[in-house]
Amino acid sequence: MGIDFELVLAVFILAGLLAVNVVMFISLGKQGDERRRLIIEKASAGTFAVIVVYILFCVIEGLYHSVTKGVSVEGMNPFITLTVSSIIYLAHLLYYRRKYGD
């Protein structure tokens, strides 16, 4: 009875995704000077724009499948949406931290 490699990999990926979510919430809660607020504002605005486009794409895709194929529209998975937004936020945050030097 060996260790299932796929299960261990899935647990590590899930732990990493949860860590990214925690980092996002911690960075949003920190107070700082004007430069730090500017970095967080820019990262948040960029993430918001990307998530709005992502949700619009999902809605259009669902409407297309329901009209053309008659398939019922499935809801979005909130964990996947939160994880995608956290990863995008982290990428924006790292970019703006490097650009503005925080």
How far is C-alpha 42 from the chain's CA centre? 15
Tokens 């990307």 locate to: 50
pLDDT values of the chain reduced to their tens digit, one per residue, 102 residues: 567 888 888 888 888 888 877 877 777 667 677 888 888 889 889 999 999 998 898 888 888 888 888 877 777 788 888 888 888 988 998 898 888 876
Q: What is the rounded distance in angstroms from the CA atom of residue 100 to the CA atom of residue 102?
A: 6
Q: What is the rounded distance in angstroms from the CA atom of residue 86 to the CA atom of residue 75?
A: 20
22, two tokens: 């925690």
Q: For residue 101, is it left (φ>0), alpha (ψ between -120 and 50) or beta?
A: left
Length of the chain: 102
pTM above 0.75, yes or no: no
